[in-house]
Every structure is written in C-alpha cells, then in structure tokens.
Structure 1
Amino acid sequence: MTSAAARSGHANEDFTGATPTAAVLIDGAGIPGTESICRHGVAWYASRLGGRLLSLLSLVPGRSPSALLAEAIEQVTDDHRDTCDVANPISPSATVVVLRRSDGRIEHLVLGDSVLVLDRAEAAPLVVSDPREVIVSRSYRSALEATVAGSDEYHRVLRQLRANRNQPGGFWLAKDDPRAADEAITGSCPISELTGAVLLSNGASRIVDRFRLAGWPGVLAILAASGPGEIIHRVREAEARHAVPADDATIAHCTDLGEA
C-alpha cells in the first residue's frame, strides 16, 4: 500500500487498510466549507468509515459488502450526528472500494469514482468503476468553463452539480444515508481466475484515465516491477508537467488472494 497527500501540510483524505480476508480503500470527498458544518472533517470521516467497514467485513462474513457498507455509514453518521450537520449537502462524504475473499470467491464493491482492477489469469484485466459522477459532471463542464473560477456564478453552477449527489439519476457516495450502499457496483468471481487486484483512489487512477501514461496492463506491469510508489511518482510528475492541481493518491496492490 502507498498513500500520498496532495501536498505537504495537507491532510490526506484517503484511507486504505487490509486484513487477511479483505481490503478497503476510501477516498474522502472534500468540499470548501465542510469545516463550517462538521468539526471533524473529511479525513476523519474517511478513516472512520474505512476502519468500521474493514472491521465489519472481517467479523461478519455472512453479509454482503453492500449491507456492511450501509451499516458502516450508519455507524459513522451516528458518531457525529449530534455535533455536526450531517445532512448538509457539503458534509463529509467518500468513495469506496471493497475486496473480500469468501468461500473460494473474491467479492468486490465500488461506490463513486475510485477504481478496482482485477488481474485475471487468462484474460485482460477487469476494470470496475462507477462512471456516474463523470457523466453527470460533463453536462456542467461548459457552464463552469464559461465562468470565472471562484465567482458567484461559478459556485452557483457547482451547487447545481453537487445537488445530483445521492439522488436518482445522479451519482452516489458514502455520506449520511446508508441507502447509498444499495447503489454500489458489486460482483464476484472465483479466486482461481485471478492473480491479483489493485484498488486505486481517483488521484492514483489519473495515470490511466487523465494522463494516459499507461493502460491497465501497463499499470499492472509497473506495480509488479516497482510497486505502487512508482505509480504515484509518475502521476505527480504528470501533474507538475501539465499544471494540474495534485490530488491525494492511494493504491492498495493485492498480490496474494489466497487459495480457492
């Protein structure tokens, strides 16, 4: 595992952790003004949600990852319901990736714009992602580009975009409503079909989906040769080269999924 904050002195709003049977990656979604309605912050939410979810995945093997994610969302929301405005549209939220070994199969879950790559023994990598936020955002791109960043009009368009969060026809994140877990992309496959898996926050998946520095087979080859730190190093170089603001970047590379 490797995780790097966007910049020095900036709280890393990503979380990743693993047990012998499960791995979790959480990418906290920070929005300006969050600190005014939640005294804990996005990094707290991400690490709290990740810790609760990882514990549930390990201790409650009979329930589905989506059901356990719903329970984790409810637990963390209860942790700050009395002190923070959890229902506010800008309260802390996060994307989620889950991998779990269960009865000879690998179960997975993706909620939001983080990415899971399953390295298959006899086929091309299977990339599991949730495109809904990207699709919704495209419809607002021209309006944002036509305004001055930071202006009242710019923020008005942003509010319209964010109003699509956790709404039918919009996109879904872990936040205060456990029903968002029902919208996650889920699946499973036999362990025997896989040689590994990679969980990436969208700050790390930029190597493919933004900067086009490699395809997913190439990313797997880099990971095998040099580890996840090299992926983040190449992303940081590309961000500097293209003057793109850095993002928190996190990778969990699972190279031994166990026996079928």
Structure 2
Amino acid sequence: MRFTIDSVPKRPGRTNEDFAGVVPGAAVVIDGAGIPGTEEICRHGVAWYAHRLGGTLLGLLPLDGSLTTLLAEAIEQVTDAHRDTCDVASPISPSATVALLRVREGTAEHLVLGDTTVVLDRHDAAPLVVTDAREVVISRTYEARLKDVPAGSDDYRRILAELRTHRNQPGGFWLAKDDPRAAAQARTGSCPVAGLRGAALLSNGAGRFVDRFGLSDWPGLLAILTTTGPDEVIRRVREAEAHENVAPDDATIVHCTALR
C-alpha cells in the first residue's frame, strides 16, 4: 500500500486534536472530541487521547482479531492509562471518532465510529462512503434550541448537558471514550481488494469538502486526491470556511493506493 497524509490544525499554532497514522497494510484517522471544561477533569486533554488511541491502534492492527475487537482493546488500554489520574467516566472526559482501514489476504476491511469517513474507490461502481451520522442527526435538534440562548448561560449548559446524555447510549450516538463496548456500535464492512483503486480516510473537518460545502462530490474528491493530494482538498476547505464565515476545524486525510 502507498499512503499520502495531510493533517492540519484548525488554526496555525493550535494543537491538532486529529491523529493520522499508517503501518504496512493499515491506516488510522482519529478525530478528537473536546467539550468545554474537559481540562478540569482530565489533565491530559483531547489531543493526548486522540494520539494515544491512534498510536495504540497502530500497534494492534497487525494482530489477529476483528477491527471491532481491536478498537475495544485500544479503548480499554487508553482508558486504563489515565483512569487513576482523571475522571474518565465524566460526560465531558476526552473522546474521539475513529476511521480504520486494514488490508489482509486480499480483503479490505473498514471501520467507522462516529462522523469520520471512509471512502472506498471502487473500479466498477460509485464510491462506497461509510460514516456514522447519528451524532449529527441528534445534535441538529439541539442546535435549534441553542440558537437564541446566550453561550455560557445556565440554559445553554443545561441543553448541552442534555445532549451529552445521548452519548454511548442505546438510541443515541457512539464514540471512543472510556467504555470499550462502544466499539461494537461501529459501522464495519469488507470487500475484495481486487475491486478497489484505493481508499480515503477523513476526519469530519476534511469531510466538509463534500458534505457541508459541496465543493465536489465524492468521486470528485477522490480525483483531486489522486491527481493533486490531500493538501489541496484541505486548502479548499479552508477557503470555504473563510468565505462562509464557518469556524475552522482540524482537518485530516489519509489517501491509500496500490492496496494489493
């Protein structure tokens, strides 16, 4: 496999809470999720959680076991690493979304937990786009309620706390956090490598290229990745954020080719 990677923080000089990494035959993208107040209950922070989870996964992916099983093991290991110093069970402790790709014995396996995205570039069909929109769907109902509420007010904090009650709960949305059972809720699948030209893993800040700004469709994004590279996709996302006055987000892409 050949990999091209770009990962850019939301603003120059800011800590990047995304993680991207590869090992032979596998790739990982982690999108750290931060909530105001996280630093008060976890001395490590969101970037530490995302990078620790990503590094742990890179060490596990060459081993036998399903992607779901390996993600559960990684969540458990990272949670154990700060269980004694931080309130890992708090609703605002660090969490992350996950995208994985692994190629073994002629099969490409993928996993998505949360609103990261895996795009499989297929020879004879439209790209297969895998993401988990449950958090996005649930959050929309709260965005309307928050629109006219002063940020930082008691009502604002109450509504956010209510939103967080849906995290890692049946009927809610699922992230990597302190409970390894969340891994069982990931979107997973596999397909023969022979049917693929390549694949891309994107954090939600990079996925904005298609699903928020509509700068192209998924085949168009794959074409840019192939001809120019991930940095061009992220550059255009930054331009769109500035033009539409949208707060920038960390943006990360791993583009995989020559999968055999």
TM-score range, shorter chain: over 0.9
For 2:115, the equivalent position in structure 1 comes to 113
Task: Give how far 1:148 is off.
Answer: 2.2
Partner of 2:219: 217
Deviations 1:60-113 (A, max 9, x none): 1x2000000000000000000000000000000000000001221000000000
The TM-score with structure 1 as length reference comes to: 0.97
Shift of 1:146: 2.8
Aligned residue number for residue 35 of structure 2: 31
Match of 2:126 in 1: 124
Match of 1:19 in 2: 23
Secondary structure in 2 aligned to 1:84? coil
Pick aligned residue for 1:136 from 135, 138, 143:
138
Residue of structure 2 equivalent to 1:251: 253
Per-residue deviation, residues 8-33 of structure 1 (Å, max 9, x unmatched)? 22110000101111101000001111
Matching residue's letter, 2:141: S
> Which string of whole-angstrom CA distances, capped at 9 and with x for unpartnered residues, describes residues 100-132 of structure 1?
012210000000001110000111000001011
Query: Which amino acid in structure 2 is aligned with residue 27 of structure 1?
Result: D
Residue 59 of structure 2: aligned partner: 55
- Which SS does the other structure have where 2:48 is aligned? helix
Measure, in 1, the Cα distance between the counterparts of 2:53 and 2:13. 23
What TM-score results when the alignment is normalised by the length of structure 2? 0.97
Q: Name the counterpart of 2:152.
A: 150
Displacement, 1:224?
A: 1.3
Q: Distance in 1 between matches of 2:114 and 2:86?
A: 23
How big is the shift at 1:141? 2.2
1:235 is aligned, of 230, 234, 237, to 237
How much has 1:162 moved relative to structure 2? 1.3
Name the SS for the 1:204 alignment partner: helix
In 2, distance between residues paired with 1:163 and 1:246? 26
**Aligned match of 2:7 in 3, 13, 31?**
3
Q: What is the CA-CA distance between 1:241 and the residue it aligns to?
A: 0.6
* Matched length: 256
| In 2: Cα distance, 1:155 partner to 1:7 partner | 26
How far the C-alpha of 1:202 sits from its partner, in A, is 0.2
SS in 2 for 1:116: strand
Structure 1 residue ranges, 4+ long, deviating more than 3 angstroms after superposition: none
Structure 1 SS opposite 2:102: strand
CA positional deviation for 1:152: 2.1
Task: In structure 2, give the amino acid aligned to 1:36.
Answer: E
One-letter code of the match for 2:28? V
CA drift at 1:147: 1.4
What residue identity is the alignment partner of 2:198?
Answer: G
Q: Separation in 2 of the partners of 1:45 and 1:211? A: 29
Are 2:102 and 1:100 aligned? yes
Mapped partners of 2:134, 2:90: distance in 1? 21
Partners of 2:252 and 2:238 in 1: CA distance: 12
